[in-house]
Amino acid sequence: MNPLLTNLVLNEGGCFRCALRFSGELSINNYLSDTSDYSSFLTKTQNPCTLCLGILNPNSYLNYTHNTILSSNYEFNDYKFQVTLPPIVYLRHEWFLGKCKLSGINPIKIIEIKDVFKWIFSPQLGLVLNKKFNVDSDFRINIDFECFDSEEEVKRFYSEFGCRVKESVQTVFKSVNAERLVACFPNVKSFLAEIKVQCSYAPVYIAGNYMKYSRKISQSPWSVEGDAEVKDSVQDCLSRPIVEVFKSSGCILHSSGREDIDVRMLGRGRPFILEITEAKSALSGFNKINDLHSIINSSNEHVKVSLLKKVGREYFEEIRKGEEGKLKVYSCIIWSQKPISQTDMDYLASLPALELQQKTPIRVMHRRSLKTRQKFILKMQGYYINQHFFQLRLVSSGGTYIKEFVHSDFNRTVPSIKKLLGCKMDILQLDVLGLGWNLEEVEDLLTAEIE
Footprint on this chain of Zn ion (rule: CB under 5 A) = 15, 18, 49, 51-52, 56
Our CB check for Zn ion shows the closer of 59 and 249 to be 59
Q: Give the shortest CB-52-to-Zn ion separation in angstroms.
A: 3
Q: Give the shortest CB-40-to-Zn ion separation in angstroms.
A: 13
Our CB check for Zn ion shows the closer of 12 and 236 to be 12
Cβ atoms < 10 Å from Cβ of 169: 20
Q: Which of 78, 149, 232, 260 is catalytic?
A: 260
Our CB check for Zn ion shows the closer of 15 and 181 to be 15
DSSP lists the bridge partners of residue 327 as 436
Coil, strand, or helix at residue 350? helix
Our CB check for Zn ion shows the closer of 18 and 242 to be 18
Q: Give the shortest CB-45-to-Zn ion separation in angstroms.
A: 12
Measure the CA–CA gap between 215 and 219, rounded to whole angstroms: 11
Coil, strand, or helix at residue 7? helix
Our CB check for Zn ion shows the closer of 36 and 159 to be 36
Q: Give the shortest CB-56-to-Zn ion separation in angstroms.
A: 5
Q: Give the shortest CB-193-to-Zn ion separation in angstroms.
A: 10
Give the CA count within 13 Å in the CB-facing half-sphere of 269: 20
Measure the CA–CA gap between 285 and 291, rounded to whole angstroms: 10
Q: Give the shortest CB-47-to-Zn ion separation in angstroms.
A: 11
Cβ atoms < 10 Å from Cβ of 23: 20
Our CB check for Zn ion shows the closer of 139 and 191 to be 191
Q: Give the shortest CB-156-to-Zn ion separation in angstroms.
A: 22
**Cis-peptide, bond into residue 415, ω within 30° of zero:** yes
Residue 260 a catalytic site member: yes
Our CB check for Zn ion shows the closer of 21 and 304 to be 21
- Non-local (6+) Cβ contacts of 279 within 8 A are 201, 203, 204, 246, 247, 248
* CA 110 to chain CA centroid, nearest Å: 36
| Dihedral Cα 240, 242, 244, 248, nearest 10 deg | -110
Give the CA count within 13 Å in the CB-facing half-sphere of 145: 25
Burial status of residue 226 (CB atoms within 10 A of its CB: 0-12, 13-18, 19 or more):
exposed
Active site members: 260
